């Protein structure tokens, strides 16, 4: 489902980000239980899409940055903490994530909550201590991460999601949830790439459009896979949305309607990229992958 | 129990920090439920000791700083989030805090966890966006807050506390818990004051000694009040430590031994201050207050 060039790029990036993530935790002098719990979720086989998007922006603008991996590690820590907290019994109450028992099933709820808190707190320290970037840009990244990961971004989206569970949502409400719950952190990654690449404000705004559309496309494909995928493919319980009667793109638009919507967002993402002078096509390949992925 | 000069100073500071905290939340465009939950705990009548320590350092060195309230708001948000998460059923399972129902008793566990996450995330944005301080100092504050609030600091201390609940602790183990769980964030406040006052590294190290001793003194007095105080005085259930057979200073040292230890830390805190050329005595008055406080 993934073309070879993107596959190689991702595989290469995944290895580097995995090393960066674990190196960061290893140097901490902390209780064993806490570091084990943090590592467990960091090593649970995430796709590392967010760090990969940062590198893709740099790559497509013909740039590289010595601190890109650190920024990637920071956003991946935020993503990981959010999964740990989302899986808790009082939230989505999930026993499995990526085919493995969720953090609280292994370490208990208290340690899972604290491991999440620790990852969240650490991510800002990682950004503050980077070596190869000027102070003003570091502060811009920290401010952007706080905004996109916090109450106005991801955390706010999770609240909207919880509140929306028990009622029939409109398409607009569903979009608002996803724009916040998953979209904002993808926007961070894309904009972080733009900050590191030091491209123009105009180019950055176009990339933001791209981020919105791949974010929504990603979520629509998630909803579609929940219907068409198997537990083996997904690494988590399939069909959960249907059973819980949760509002999803297929439930609001039918499966065909959701697939059309997915294609529209894909096309708009490519249209945005078309307005940029890029030296490579990793962001385009990534948009294609989102539409075609099976897990 | 509190002398008039300290009383006036605290009352004045509390008002300013309360306004700063609520102004910060008010400007956020977020779901009502989330902002109500965040505000509920921020307004629950904390003593604002951490922001007050920042101002006390500045005051005693004859300085002031236009961003001191922002730094105070940031550390108070961290403190508040930690209380929300500590009170959860899977942690300390507390129904009351400062005489009011705990956050999760009012808003439910899911919203309480997310309100904590949001406060934690927001605090770093507050620091990153300050206007009256140079970039390098902001980054030093962000790095210090990440370190003292995170896995190596407060969160690590909470893990140690949970692990220590079921066993008999040595005095050294008990000290390690408190140095991390409460001591590190007090250290942040004192060092943040030192950073804002731009005092020498040597003076900062002496203040760090002061921070360690008032932190331990504070905790010992907490343990003593749990035995000698009433629910009315404390705003929470008294005698809880004894009932849960938790290791405390009085349980390890007897009540008299704990009172002696309290006095020793108080004296060492004052001894550290004696090595500094200070223009006022708010830090000294604060150390006295810790020993004499009834809640």
Task: Determine the Cα–Cα distance for residues B113 and B115; give it in Å rounded to an integer.
Answer: 6
Average pLDDT, chain B: 93
Output DSSP code: residue A255.
H
Domain span at residue A100 reads 4-292
- Per residue in B66-91, pLDDT (tens digit) is 999 999 999 999 999 999 999 999 99
CATH number, residue A109: 1.10.600.10
Residues in B closer than 8 angstroms to A151, CB to CB, are: 28, 30, 34-35, 38, 118, 121-122
Amino acid B227: pLDDT: 87
- B117 with A118: Cβ contact below 8 A: no
**Cβ contacts of A273 within 8 Å, gap of 6 or more:** A210, A283, A284, A287
Shortest distance, CA B12 to any CA of chain A (angstroms): 29
**Structural domain count, chain A:** 1
User: What tokens does B55 get?
Assistant: 């101002």
Amino acid B96: pLDDT: 93
Task: Determine which of A108, A116, A117 to mutate to test the interface with B (most B C-beta atoms within 10 Å).
Answer: A117
Task: Determine which of A155, A160, A176 to mutate to test the interface with B (most B C-beta atoms within 10 Å).
Answer: A155
Residues in A closer than 8 angstroms to B91, CB to CB, are: 110, 113
- Per residue in B246-257, pLDDT (tens digit) is 889 999 999 999
In a 3-state reduction of DSSP, which class is residue A137? helix
Structure-model confidence comparison of residues B145 and B2, the more confident one: B145
Shortest distance, CA A31 to any CA of chain B (angstroms): 7
- Per residue in B163-181, pLDDT (tens digit) is 998 789 999 999 999 999 9
- A30 with B156: Cβ contact below 8 A: yes
CA distances from B158 to A110, A175, B101, B152, B242 (A): 10, 38, 21, 11, 19
Task: Determine the Cα–Cα distance for residues B112 and A207; give it in Å rounded to an integer.
Answer: 34
Amino acid A114: pLDDT: 98
**Dihedrals phi, psi of A100, to nearest 5 degrees:** -120, 155
In angstroms, how far is the first alpha carbon of chain A from the final one? Answer: 10
Residues in B closer than 8 angstroms to A85, CB to CB, are: 113-114, 117
Residues in chain A: 295
Q: pLDDT tier at B229 (50, 70, 90 boundaries)?
A: confident
Beta bridge partners, A101, equal: A96
Task: Determine the Cα–Cα distance for residues B248 and B262; give it in Å rounded to an integer.
Answer: 13
> Which chain A residue shows the shortest CA-CA distance from B33?
A159
Average pLDDT, chain A: 93
> Which chain A residue shows the shortest CA-CA distance from B84?
A113
- Write b or e for each residue in B55-70: b if 16 or more Cβ atoms lie within 10 A of its Cβ, otherwise e: bbbbbbbeeebebbbb
CB pairs A-B closer than 8 Å: 152
Q: pLDDT tier at B237 (50, 70, 90 boundaries)?
A: low
0.85 surpassed by complex ipTM: yes
From A35, A121, A163, residue closest to B33, measured CB to CB: A163
Q: pLDDT tier at B236 (50, 70, 90 boundaries)?
A: low
Spans of chain A below 50 pLDDT: none
Amino acid A295: pLDDT: 74
- Write b or e for each residue in A24-56: b if 16 or more Cβ atoms lie within 10 A of its Cβ, otherwise e: bbeebebbebbbebbebbbebebebbbbbbbbb
Q: How crowded is residue A65: how many other Cβ atoms within 10 Å of its Cβ?
A: 21
Task: Determine the Cα–Cα distance for residues A190 and A212; give it in Å rounded to an integer.
Answer: 10
Residues in A closer than 8 angstroms to B117, CB to CB, are: 81, 85, 116-117, 120, 150, 155
Q: How far is CA B122 from the centre of its chain?
A: 18
DSSP secondary structure string, B6-56? Answer: HHHHHHHHHHHHHHHHHHHHHT----HHHHHHHHHHHTS----HHHHHHHH
- B152 with A30: Cβ contact below 8 A: yes
- Per residue in B45-54, pLDDT (tens digit) is 788 999 999 9
Task: Determine which of A35, A88, A102, A151 to mutate to test the interface with B (most B C-beta atoms within 10 Å).
Answer: A151
- A146 with B128: Cβ contact below 8 A: yes
Amino acid B16: pLDDT: 95
- Per residue in B18-69, pLDDT (tens digit) is 999 999 899 899 999 999 999 999 999 788 999 999 999 999 999 999 999 9
Task: Determine which of A92, A111, A114, A185 to mutate to test the interface with B (most B C-beta atoms within 10 Å).
Answer: A114
CA distances from A59 to A4, A63, A65, A137, A196 (A): 16, 6, 10, 19, 11
**Cβ contacts of A262 within 8 Å, gap of 6 or more:** A217, A220, A221, A224, A249, A291
Tell me the three-class secondary structure of A188-214, residue by residue. HHHHHHHHHHCCCHHHHHHHHHHHHHH
In a 3-state reduction of DSSP, which class is residue B100? strand
Report the C-alpha dihedral over residues A70, A71, A77, A79, rounded to 10 degrees. Answer: -150
Cβ–Cβ < 8 Å for B266, B287: yes
Amino acid A63: pLDDT: 98
Cβ–Cβ < 8 Å for A250, A185: no
> Which chain A residue shows the shortest CA-CA distance from B81?
A117
User: What tokens does B263 get?
Assistant: 């006095």
Shortest distance, CA A185 to any CA of chain B (angstroms): 13
- A110 with B117: Cβ contact below 8 A: no
User: What tokens does B294 get?
Assistant: 């009834």
- A121 with B30: Cβ contact below 8 A: no
Helices (H), A184-277: 184-197, 201-228, 231-234, 240-243, 249-274
- B136 with A136: Cβ contact below 8 A: no
Return the closest-CA partner of residue A185 out of A60, A59, A79: A79
Amino acid A72: pLDDT: 98
Q: Given a cut of 70, is residue B232 above it in pLDDT?
A: no
Decide: residue B85, CB within 10 A, 0-12 exposed, 13-18 middle, 19+ buried: buried
Structure-model confidence comparison of residues A85 and B244, the more confident one: A85
Structure-model confidence comparison of residues B245 and A273, the more confident one: A273
Residues in A closer than 8 angstroms to B150, CB to CB, are: 117-118, 121-122, 125
Output DSSP code: residue B180.
I
């Amino acid at each position: 489902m993934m073309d070879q060039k993107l596959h190689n790029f991702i595989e290469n990036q995944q290895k580097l980000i995995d090393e960066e993530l674990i190196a960061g935790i290893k140097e901490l002098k902390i209780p064993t239980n806490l570091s084990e719990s943090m590592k467990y979720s960091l090593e649970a086989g995430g796709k590392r899409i967010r760090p990969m998007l940062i590198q893709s922006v740099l790559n497509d603008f013909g740039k590289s940055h010595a601190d890109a991996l650190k920024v990637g590690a920071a956003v991946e820590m935020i993503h990981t903490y959010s999964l740990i907290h989302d899986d808790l019994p009082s939230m989505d109450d999930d026993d499995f994530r990526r085919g493995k028992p969720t953090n609280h099933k292994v370490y208990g709820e208290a340690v899972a909550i604290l491991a999440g808190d620790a990852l969240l707190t650490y991510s800002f320290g990682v950004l503050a201590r980077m070596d190869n970037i000027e102070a003003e840009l570091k502060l811009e990244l920290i401010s952007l991460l706080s905004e996109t990961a916090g109450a106005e971004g991801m955390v706010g989206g999770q609240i909207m999601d919880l509140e929306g569970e028990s009622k029939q949502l409109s398409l607009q409400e569903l979009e608002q949830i996803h724009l916040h719950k998953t979209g904002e952190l993808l926007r961070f990654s894309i904009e972080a790439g733009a900050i590191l690449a030091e491209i123009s404000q105009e180019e950055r705004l176009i990339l933001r459009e791209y981020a919105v559309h791949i974010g929504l496309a990603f979520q629509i494909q998630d909803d579609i896979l929940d219907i068409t995928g198997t537990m083996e493919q997904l690494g988590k319980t399939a069909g959960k949305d249907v059973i819980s009667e949760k509002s999803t793109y297929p439930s609001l638009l039918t499966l065909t309607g959701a697939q059309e919507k997915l294609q529209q967002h894909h096309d708009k993402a490519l249209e945005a990229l078309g307005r940029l002078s890029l030296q490579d096509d990793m962001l385009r390949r990534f948009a294609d992958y989102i539409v075609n992925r099976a897990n």
